[in-house]
């Protein structure tokens, strides 16, 4: 299997294959120069609170190491991962949303909720195994308190609304177990919400989907519109009383992939008080990468329809991918999306949502979680103030979470 094929498959969902052992030579343009960290940028980075909106380490540990931290001890460098404790520390990560991912194919098997709960248990075991590093956070105050102790505040997000199996009771159970956001879809539309990478079934959000949003508002669970169709995003923002997040996406105007947020939705998000947490995956945020990824699902459908053997299908994938390479991009690729969002709706509505260990290729100098200071440096290079950078790093998300908590308290009194 070629490295480019691995990259595309991992972009679809967090698979277990390791990243390529070697990376081809990449020539940077004059506009995409290598980032050189300065003492001033490092000071800004260290004095802020970095909150990352999306990391798929739990699925990697489940699928690559049988959910065993003995088999994959993240206190030690892990070459087949993009995340481990030494690199989290070097990256200055203060709080992390760990995603409980469940393949969309599990929607109607009766196993989706159970798989999610098993990943909740895995996070509990991770915190028990490394108590000096991780502590569970379920509120904005928790994040700040845990950060002051020098630990990484660990939050739980659920990736894919199919995991609740059309049950508001299951949604409430997830909240009780610590989940603080739910992504409404993944790569496939659910029985109540449309995905951006599947045929629309509801024209956005179905009536039961509206019930889910209202219950999430009441509980204080953040609504995550990552992976939803643009019409679904609009419906969510029409229904939700609490601020909405997109835990890992970019700006559609910069890279025209349906995973990204169009300008009209960005304006709605500002009115809602929400936030877009910009992802690092080049297949979504690099303009040419987005073009290559646009055809992914269509090509998957075509190959599956041809009745090919596994070897023949693999050869077909290789041929297609060789003709549609995904450029890695650079730190500047990421910050271009931040610039667009800030320019359109302001500094208060953008954050970071890397998607580490959910994809197999990342931009140059952002290959793993140790690269976060490069984002701070590039923002500093572009003239962002320390206060602006701290908002992007985490203050904006804290504002969103606190407002969702306040609205939940109001709704629970009614």
Task: Return the domain boundaries, the chain.
Answer: 48-286+331-413, 289-326
CA–CA separation, 75 and 31 (whole Å): 37
Q: Which is more confidently placed, 326 or 55? A: 55
Q: Which is more confidently placed, 22 or 313? A: 313
Tell me what percent of the residues of the chain surpass a pLDDT of 70: 92
What average pLDDT does range 99-108 have in this prediction?
96
pLDDT at residue 32, as a whole number: 56
What average pLDDT does range 9-15 have in this prediction?
32
Is residue 18 over pLDDT 60?
no
Is residue 9 over pLDDT 50?
no
First-last CA distance in the chain: 56
pLDDT digits (tens, 9 = 90+) for 343-357: 999 999 999 999 999
What average pLDDT does range 166-187 have in this prediction?
98
Neighbouring C-beta atoms of residue 300, cutoff 10 Å: 18
CA–CA separation, 121 and 137 (whole Å): 15
Token pair listed for 32:
């995409």
Tell me what percent of the residues of the chain surpass a pLDDT of 90: 83
CA–CA separation, 179 and 158 (whole Å): 7
Is residue 28 over pLDDT 50?
no
Q: What region does 238 belong to: left with phi over 0, alpha with psi -120 to 50, or beta? A: alpha
Mean per-residue pLDDT over the chain, rounded: 91
pLDDT digits (tens, 9 = 90+) for 224-245: 999 999 999 999 999 999 999 9
The DSSP-derived string for 132-172 is: TTEEE--SHHHHHHHHHTTSEEEEEEEE-GGGGTT-HHHHH
How many helices (H) and strands (E) in the chain? 18, 9
Distances (CA, A) of 50 to 12, 205, 357, 364, 410: 26, 32, 18, 20, 29
pLDDT at residue 303, as a whole number: 81
pLDDT at residue 216, as a whole number: 98
Cβ-based burial of 115 (10 A; exposed 0-12, middle 13-18, buried ≥19) = middle
Among the residue ranges 251-260, 313-322, 355-364, the one predicted with the least confidence is 313-322
**pLDDT band, residue 319 (cuts 50/70/90):** confident
pTM over 0.85: yes
Whether residue 354 contacts residue 369, with contact meaning beta carbons closer than 8 Å, is answered with: yes
CATH of 48-286+331-413, one of 3.60.10.10, 3.20.20.140, 3.40.50.1100, 3.40.50.960: 3.20.20.140
CA–CA separation, 17 and 402 (whole Å): 37
pLDDT at residue 316, as a whole number: 83
Of 291, 283, 278, the closest CA to residue 250 belongs to 278
Is residue 193 over pLDDT 50?
yes
pLDDT at residue 8, as a whole number: 32
pLDDT at residue 24, as a whole number: 31
Among the residue ranges 1-5, 34-38, 194-198, 310-314, the one predicted with the least confidence is 1-5
Among the residue ranges 76-90, 322-336, 371-385, the one predicted with the least confidence is 322-336
pLDDT at residue 366, as a whole number: 98
- Catalogue the active-site residues: 54, 56, 159, 186, 227, 248, 355
CA–CA separation, 378 and 29 (whole Å): 15
Is residue 58 over pLDDT 60?
yes
Neighbouring C-beta atoms of residue 198, cutoff 10 Å: 17
CA–CA separation, 112 and 102 (whole Å): 6
Is residue 175 over pLDDT 50?
yes
pLDDT at residue 305, as a whole number: 82
pLDDT at residue 20, as a whole number: 30
Q: Which is more confidently placed, 195 or 30? A: 195
Is residue 149 over pLDDT 60?
yes
What average pLDDT does range 28-38 have in this prediction?
71
Is residue 5 over pLDDT 80?
no
């Amino acid at each position: 299997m070629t490295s480019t094929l691995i990259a595309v498959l991992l972009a679809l969902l967090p698979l277990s294959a390791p990243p390529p052992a070697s990376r081809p030579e990449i020539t940077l343009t004059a506009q995409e120069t290598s980032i050189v960290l300065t003492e001033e940028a490092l000071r800004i980075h260290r004095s802020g609170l970095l909150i990352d909106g999306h990391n798929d380490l739990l699925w990697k540990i489940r699928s690559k190491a049988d959910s065993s931290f003995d088999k994959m001890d993240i206190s030690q460098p892990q070459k087949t991962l993009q995340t481990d404790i030494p690199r989290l520390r070097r990256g200055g990560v203060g709080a992390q949303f760990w995603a409980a991912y469940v393949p969309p194919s599990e929607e109607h098997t009766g196993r989706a909720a159970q798989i999610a709960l098993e990943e909740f248990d895995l996070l509990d075991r991770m915190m028990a195994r490394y108590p000096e590093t991780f502590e569970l956070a379920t509120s904005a105050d928790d994040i700040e308190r845990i950060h002051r102790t020098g630990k990484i505040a660990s939050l739980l997000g659920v990736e894919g609304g199919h995991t609740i199996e059309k049950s508001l009771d299951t949604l409430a159970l997830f909240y009780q177990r610590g989940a603080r956001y739910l992504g409404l879809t993944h790569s496939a539309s659910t029985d109540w919400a449309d995905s951006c990478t599947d045929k629309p079934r509801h024209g956005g959000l179905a009536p039961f989907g509206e019930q889910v949003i209202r219950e999430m508002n009441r509980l204080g669970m953040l609504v995550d519109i990552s992976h939803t169709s643009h019409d679904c995003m609009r419906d969510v923002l029409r229904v939700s009383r609490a601020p909405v997040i997109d835990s890992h996406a970019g700006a559609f105007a910069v890279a025209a992939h349906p995973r990204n947020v169009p300008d009209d939705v960005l304006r709605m998000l500002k009115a809602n008080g929400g936030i877009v947490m910009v992802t690092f995956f080049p297949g979504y945020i690099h303009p040419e990468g987005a073009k290559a990824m646009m055809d992914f699902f269509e090509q998957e459908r075509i190959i599956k329809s041809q009745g090919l053997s596994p070897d023949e299908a693999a050869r077909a994938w290789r041929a297609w991918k060789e003709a549609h390479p995904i450029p890695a991009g650079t730190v500047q690729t990421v910050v271009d999306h931040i610039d667009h969002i800030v320019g359109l709706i302001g500094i208060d509505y953008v954050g970071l949502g890397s998607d580490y260990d959910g994809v197999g290729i990342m931009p140059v100098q952002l290959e793993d979680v140790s690269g976060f200071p490069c984002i701070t440096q590039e923002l500093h290079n572009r003239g962002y103030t320390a206060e602006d950078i701290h908002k992007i790093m985490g203050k904006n998300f804290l504002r969103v979470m606190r407002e969702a908590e306040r609205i939940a308290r109001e709704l629970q009194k009614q």
